[in-house]
Amino acid sequence: MNTTIKNTLTMEDISIEFPGVKALNQVSFSLESSTIHALIGANGAGKSTLMKILAGAYNHYTGHIRINGREVVIKTPKEANRLGIHIVYQEVDMALIPNLTVGENIMLDKLVNNMDGQHFINWQTIHKEAQAILSRLHININTKKLISELSLAQKQMVLITRSLSNQCRFLILDEPTAPLSHHETKELFRVIGELKKNDVGIIFISHRLPEVFAVCEDVTILRDGEIAAKDKLVNFTQNQLVEKMLGRTLVENFSKPPVIIGDTVLEAVDLCTADKLHNINFTVHSGEIVGIAGLVGAGKTELCKALFGAESLTAGKRLLYKQPLNFSSPHDAVTAGFALVPEERRKEGLFVEESIATNLTIANLTACCSYKHFISPKAESQVAKRMIERLDIKTPSQQHPAKNLSGGNQQKIGIAKWLLQDANIYILDEPTKGVDVGAKKDIFDLIGKLVATGKSILYASCEINELLKITDRLYVMYDGTIVKELKTNGTNEEEILFYATGGL
Amino acid sequence: MSHDVSIKAKSTSHKHIIFEILYKYGTIITIVLLTFIFALAANNFLQGDNILNILRSISIVTIIATGITLSLTVGGFDLSVGSVASVSDALALSAFVWYSQDTLVGILAALAAAGVCGIINGFLIVKVKIPDMLATLATMFILQGLALSYARGATISQNMVMPNGNFAMGTIPSFFINLGQTPWIIVIMLCVTLAVHIFLTYTKHGRYMYMIGGNLEAARLSGIPVNRYRILAYFLAAILAGIGGIVLAARIQTTEINAGAPYLMDAVAAAYIGFSVGGAGKPNAFGTFIGGILIGILQNGLIILSVPYYAMDIVKGLVLAFALTVTYYKKKF
């Protein structure tokens, strides 16, 4: 290596507040070129916030950022780019223009900002320069291809290449491996290695600890907006990292009513989908709350949707009361007694512009109809009133649009609409995401009541402490498959996180 | 809704309230204003005959526009309605003139053809996944050509000369012709509007369609068979366009070349103007009817005022722009 000066980046005493939350408190962080630095922490620890500050996404932080000892101010993404700091977010599609070629996307910054009064584009040069950067990283993608033709992994490569077109000194990769397959991950690591040879300092955010050990040298662990530890990675074992990531565990009181767990209701045998899931096996009994634990990107949402018929299976079967289910649409799933409360509440669960009453009755409108087809406003309003009271939904009126409610109350609607349908199997995907403590308790209580009447609950979440509180049994997912089945009574957060991060 | 408005009213200025009112009642206010202006300018404008005249003139546009409204409820769009009307127009008349069939057969043949067109549209959009505008643009051309080819590029009318040199023997039943006269043509329009209004507002099927248009994914995950309802929407849109074509056939008793096509743009305008009527904020049958009235009054008034036909589109476009301004300008707030 023939580097003369090593670039250093330091962040000191960084704090940032959002309305009501102190997201980061006096956090310090440092990075050198030609190193790969892991940034890890549980959900909500502040990893993404810290990196967004560095990338110029926020302008109201306090503290100092220095590059090579000189203080710099980063308030906009453009300033960050000018200093050679680039970030590749998880949502790669947001940053790329799908109907332009790879070459144009790589050279986008030059095309937009550095044309220096030129009005004609020399396509040959654009593609040649793009190709040059790609070959520097030994990436084999044709620069004339359209972005829309690429796989997700290739899009990531294009983004990484683009940052390099722009004198990249520091590159932030925010959970880059979450959507990648094993093979694609290996390719990404090879490219990261090439970047390292090109004197780039890399911040690698990941939930997958084996990967962290595979590529990183240093590690910084965040917990609840503060630094929990930072050191050379060789000084830690995977278990020690997990311990550092976990803070105090919130003990909230939830007591599941005594329920006799009955017969097998739902059974999955070797479920596979085209892109994510493989060989999923599990069983759910009546009156049982079964947890699906796993980190972001482990495949929980895909599993929930596959069970509900919203994603098609390539292999395997679902058995309901030992009878095979051959449906391929949510409509059939609902008829069979399934209910899904999706993770993306506002996008997939609610009709935000519509009234609360409309939202509450949509899954079983027939119950509010006279002559089977004609909606009876009176019946609809009575049903809505009953649900609002039963779940204690806080709203001025049932004609209020759903968008005006708080996250917790919206989630209650998302669950309540299935109560009318009298579903037997409730699939809840991250039901407490963005829900305040009070509403969370209401939701837990409701789940308790449901299982008391013999319903089955599948509870998918990355909030491990919640899973420990509420489930009877749980399955841990990692990389699209179930890696471990655990009795909730005999396990703890460390063990679950160990399996969820790929420990074997 | 009223709760919502009162909160906003407290916090913002009077200007806001004015826009609220304009948004909800802008179309109706425009209609009242136009009526007032035309009544002042021409004293025969408000006479009973002329009012029936206006209603008669908008009936075909309104029926076809109601079809477009149905496709809009599921978040789609149907450009082919004009051509579907041409097809059923040609089929109905040919059944009478060429094949000497009675009224019922003619109407059923026309409706069946329209239904098939709708299912093809639905299939292309829902199963083949072609964007709605493009799929129906394609079928618009195809059907336009089919209607023309079926009529062998000529007009179908009583006593027309057939290819073998004879005169066509069939006659158009007088009962059928009546359908195109006042008051039946107006009654048909009112019945269609009422039926679609009831369907959309008071049945669960209408509710499902609105939900699909509002949030397709949420509708799917709520267990609504979204594909079935989307196809149904295009099917019903085509059936209504077919009814429009039948009424058109009864009205003019010949198939002019692309007889249905000119109704497309007026129908689109009526359906979009209808969005805001009464503050509905979404496609609805009653609003579409009001939109049709606005267009009808304008056309009629301009003719009475002897505005030259070549300048009429200017005024029509301006009023349309005004009606849409009061509908959409509000969205800034």
Domains in chain B with CATH codes: 14-332 (1.10.3470)
Q: What share of chain A is helix, strand, coil (3-state, %, to 5)?
A: 40, 25, 35
Alpha-carbon gap: B2 to the closest alpha carbon of chain A (Å): 10
Does the CB of A342 have a partner CB in chain B at under 8 Å? yes
The per-residue b/e assignment along B275-298, b for 16 or more CB within 10 angstroms, e otherwise, is: bbbeeebbbbbbbbbbbbbbbbbb
Alpha-carbon gap: B153 to the closest alpha carbon of chain A (Å): 42
Q: Kindly state the average pLDDT of the residues A343-359.
A: 90
More confident residue, A354 or A115: A354
Distances (CA, A) of B51 to B39, B55, B189, B293: 11, 6, 15, 10
- Alpha carbon distance B134, B299 (integer Å): 30
Which residue from B minimizes the CA distance to A370?
B203
**In B, what residues contact A, Cβ < 8 A?**
1, 3-4, 202-205, 207-208, 211, 214-215, 217-227
Collect all residues of chain B within an 8 Å Cβ-Cβ radius of residue A422: none
Q: Which residues 83-142 of chain A have a CB within 8 Å of chain B?
A: none
Collect all residues of chain B within an 8 Å Cβ-Cβ radius of residue A352: 215
Per-residue confidence (pLDDT) for residue A253, from 0 to 100: 57
Range list for CATH 3.40.50.300 in chain A: 1-84+168-248, 251-337+423-504
Per-residue confidence (pLDDT) for residue A247, from 0 to 100: 61
Does the CB of A363 have a partner CB in chain B at under 8 Å? yes
Collect all residues of chain A within an 8 Å Cβ-Cβ radius of residue B217: 347-348
Per-residue pLDDT at A188 exceeds 50 = yes
Average pLDDT over all residues of chain A: 87
**Which structure tokens are listed for A361?**
């009755």
Collect all residues of chain A within an 8 Å Cβ-Cβ radius of residue B227: 329
Distances (CA, A) of B189 to A453, B70, B118, B183: 53, 15, 20, 10
Strands (E), A160-257: 170-174, 201-205, 218-223, 226-232
Given the DSSP bridges, would you call strands A8-18 and A280-285 parallel, antiparallel or unpaired?
unpaired
> Closest Cα to residue B241, out of B107, B82, B130, B78?
B82
Per-residue confidence (pLDDT) for residue B9, from 0 to 100: 39
Contacting residues for A114 by C-beta, under 8 A, at least 6 apart:
none
Per-residue confidence (pLDDT) for residue B330, from 0 to 100: 59
Nearest CB partner across the interface for B218, out of A329, A333, A349? A349
Entry pTM: 0.79
Per-residue confidence (pLDDT) for residue A437, from 0 to 100: 67
Alpha-carbon gap: B289 to the closest alpha carbon of chain A (Å): 22
Could you tell me if B295 and B269 are in contact, meaning their C-beta atoms sit under 8 angstroms apart? yes
Cβ contact, residue pair B204, A375, below 8 Å: yes
Minimum mean pLDDT among A16-30, A428-442, B11-25, B149-163: which range?
Answer: B11-25
Per-residue confidence (pLDDT) for residue B258, from 0 to 100: 80
Strand partners, A482: A477
**Which structure tokens are listed for A191?**
């490219």
**Which structure tokens are listed for A465?**
């402490």
Cβ contact, residue pair B218, A351, below 8 Å: yes
Mutation for testing the A interface, residue in B7, B222, B227, B228 having most A CBs under 10 Å: B222
Between the ranges A103-112, A442-451, B97-106, B188-197, where is the mean pLDDT highest? B188-197
Cβ contact, residue pair A348, B204, below 8 Å: no
- Alpha carbon distance A343, A43 (integer Å): 15
The DSSP-derived string for A105-125 is: HHTHHHHHH--TT--S--HHH
Three-state SS sequence of A425-493 = EEEEECCCCCCCHHHHHHHHHHHHHHHHCCCEEEEEECCHHHHHHHCCEEEEEECCEEEEEEEHHHCCH
Collect all residues of chain A within an 8 Å Cβ-Cβ radius of residue B220: 310, 329-330
Cα B217 from chain centroid (whole Å)? 28
Instruction: Kindly report the number of other CB atoms within 10 A of residue B206's CB atom.
Output: 23
More confident residue, B20 or A445: A445
The CATH architecture annotation of domain A1-84+168-248 reads: 3-Layer(aba) Sandwich (3.40)
Mutation for testing the B interface, residue in A305, A328, A329 having most B CBs under 10 Å: A329
Could you tell me if A53 and A221 are in contact, meaning their C-beta atoms sit under 8 angstroms apart? no
CA dihedral A464, A466, A470, A475 (to 10 degrees): -20
Does the CB of A224 have a partner CB in chain B at under 8 Å? no
Between the ranges A195-199, A357-361, B308-312, where is the mean pLDDT highest? A357-361
Per-residue pLDDT at A182 exceeds 50 = yes
Strand partners, A88: A173
Does the CB of A166 have a partner CB in chain B at under 8 Å? no
Cβ contact, residue pair B207, A334, below 8 Å: no
Alpha-carbon gap: A296 to the closest alpha carbon of chain B (Å): 21
Distances (CA, A) of A412 to A256, A289, A320, A440, B192: 19, 18, 27, 9, 40
Q: What pLDDT band is residue A219 in, cutting at 50, 70 and 90?
A: very high
Mutation for testing the A interface, residue in B221, B227, B230, B232 having most A CBs under 10 Å: B221
Does the CB of A501 have a partner CB in chain B at under 8 Å? no
Q: Kindly state the average pLDDT of the residues A27-55.
A: 88
Per-residue confidence (pLDDT) for residue B315, from 0 to 100: 83
Mutation for testing the A interface, residue in B8, B204, B331 having most A CBs under 10 Å: B204
The parts of chain B modelled with pLDDT lower than 70 are 1-13, 327, 330-333
CATH code linked to domain A251-337+423-504: 3.40.50.300
Could you tell me if A188 and A201 are in contact, meaning their C-beta atoms sit under 8 angstroms apart? no
Per-residue confidence (pLDDT) for residue A298, from 0 to 100: 86
Task: Tell me the count of A-B CB pairs closer than 8 A.
Answer: 75
Q: Kindly state the average pLDDT of the residues A308-336.
A: 90
- Alpha carbon distance B158, B180 (integer Å): 16
Per-residue confidence (pLDDT) for residue B4, from 0 to 100: 42
